Amino acid sequence: MGGIRRAAALFYRARLSKDHADELEFHLAMREQLNVDQGMPAREAGRAARLRFGNAVSWRERMREVDLLTLPGSVWQDIRYGSRMLAKHKGFTAIAVLALALGIGVNTATFTAYKAIVLRTLDARDPARMVNISLIHQSGEVDPKFSYPDYLAYRDQTRSFDGVIAAGGEYLTLSGAGGAVVQSHSMLGAIAGKFGFVVPSRSTTNAEIIQAEVVSENYFSVLGVPAAQGRLFDSRGVSEILSSPSVMISENYRKRRFGSEPEILGKSIRLNGLTVTIIGVTPHNFVGTDITAPDFWVPMSLESLLHPDANPLHDRENQFCRIFGRLAPGVTMMSAQAEVESLADHLRSLHDPHSDLSKPLTAQVWPGSPFGRKPDASLRFAILLIMIAVGMVLVIACANVASLQLARAVARQNELGMRLSLGASRGRIIRQLLTESALLGLLSGVVALLFTWGLLHVVATELADALPPEWGSLVLHVTPDMQVFVYVFSISLFTGVFFWTGSGA
């Protein structure tokens, strides 16, 4: 019953205050009667009773705090009072919010970029179950590329995976697509050429260079990604693909290249002179196992037709694709690592004795990532230095706001002294000031989050537009998710407490 009464007190605070006042009056009356019984005059008995009990307001405050369920009410009271104080001093609030938002914004932008690039996962359903497979040579060099025969061995001879896929990017010549072909004049392409990178350029003739992702036929089914329109490769057998070559087009390239064309499915084009049919469209911004959306997705079984002078599907020394796997239910990465290492040791005996792949090496299984190697110690150290640097920006912002808070505290001495004289405890005063600082930090966090979100979105869009079209469509996910929200909320609260502590309040 006591718990029910306390819970009800949250909604009947006026009744609770009246009960506390009545209880205090009862105790005062009992003490006054005791004084009278001991021979004290009635007037002096009442005065002595009040002096003995002390400040009635302070006692009522303590009685409220005894009941833990009234804490939300007092916290809400602190929040409302703190909000009024921040609104009253608009100049201080604006300057403090801008200063803190700068520090929080720099940290938020860095964390979001770190998450969007370094912590980026594969574009797949349940990406936590996806893994990369790579080789590590005796020299310590990481080799993420495999030959097609080796891929078939990993696909068919392992039991730790629900599926194993292969993917490799290459440039192909597109012709017979119709429409105007615009030549690229990318600034980044020109800069890349200065540093010796060969960047294919679109032609002003009826042929153009496109970026294709050559993938195994089970690529989309293992990733768990359906087609936005049309069909996937796994709906057709390899023999059917060879007899009637087909490809998929990305929605990004379809809009950029065939935007005015109402129907793209069933359209015939030529890639490297091979006539192929577009059977499906992948979702917008789908990048799969890369960071860019390619122009076309080509089944790996067409490699021998696209490159008749080479023999990529039967040459064990031709490493042109990367391998990814989806862990089977109940299988850990450690057990998958052991199976892959055993298979890698067996496969090296099938390579040319003069090849580096025939020498002792180890296989590595690590969380799925579009990048070809796991972050090493040097990269982690560089990231740590960057995080320390941006953390110092936040510390400087906190120090500046703490100085403003000190100047403001001098002006508030009369107010705080008055509250203490009226019976407020030092703990309640500290909690109130801490609440104001936390509100200031959270308000700064909201401003920083909105500004950073907009800024990163503009930067990502401009960067994607600045890249040469031949490189595909760069996709960076900078939209805040729950991890970013939690990070901003945590750092905002920390900021409020930190600068409040630094001000010596």
pTM over 0.75: no
Q: Rg of the chain over CA atoms, in angstroms? A: 34
**Beta strand 274-282 with 246-250: parallel, antiparallel or unpaired?**
parallel
Q: Note the pLDDT tens digit of each residue in 89-148.
A: 788 888 888 888 888 888 888 888 888 888 888 999 999 999 999 998 888 888 899 999
Mean pLDDT of 324-332: 94
Q: Note the pLDDT tens digit of each residue in 181-211.
A: 554 444 444 444 444 444 444 444 456 889 9
Instruction: Give the number of other Cβ atoms within 10 Å of residue 287's Cβ.
Output: 23
What residue has token string 């994607």? 464
Q: What one-character DSSP code corresponds to residue 183? A: P
- First-last CA distance in the chain: 41
What local confidence, expressed as pLDDT, does residue 68 receive?
45
Mean pLDDT of 252-272: 86
- pLDDT interval class at 383 (50, 70, 90): confident
**Residues 6 or more apart from 205 whose CB is under 8 A from it?**
181
What the block records as the tokens of 231 is 């069909």
Does residue 440 contact residue 500 with C-beta atoms inside 8 Å?
no
Is the predicted pLDDT of residue 51 greater than 80, yes or no?
A: no
Mean pLDDT of 439-460: 84
Lowest pLDDT segment from 7-21, 22-36, 69-83, 249-263: 7-21
For 320, the 3-state DSSP assignment is coil
Q: List the beta bridge partners of residue 246.
A: 277
Q: List the beta bridge partners of residue 131.
A: 325, 367
- Which uninterrupted H or E stretch holds 174? strand 161-175
For 499, the 3-state DSSP assignment is helix
Higher pLDDT, 208 or 150: 150
Does residue 332 contact residue 325 with C-beta atoms inside 8 Å?
no
Parse the chain into domains and list their residue ranges. Answer: 2-66, 78-118+376-502, 127-367
For 503, the 3-state DSSP assignment is coil
Does residue 181 contact residue 199 with C-beta atoms inside 8 Å?
no
Give the residue among 94, 114, 168 at the shortest CA–CA distance from 452: 114
Q: Note the pLDDT tens digit of each residue in 401-433.
A: 777 777 666 666 666 666 666 656 666 676 777
Lowest pLDDT segment from 65-79, 148-162, 264-278: 65-79
- pLDDT interval class at 63 (50, 70, 90): low
Is the predicted pLDDT of residue 276 greater than 60, yes or no?
A: yes
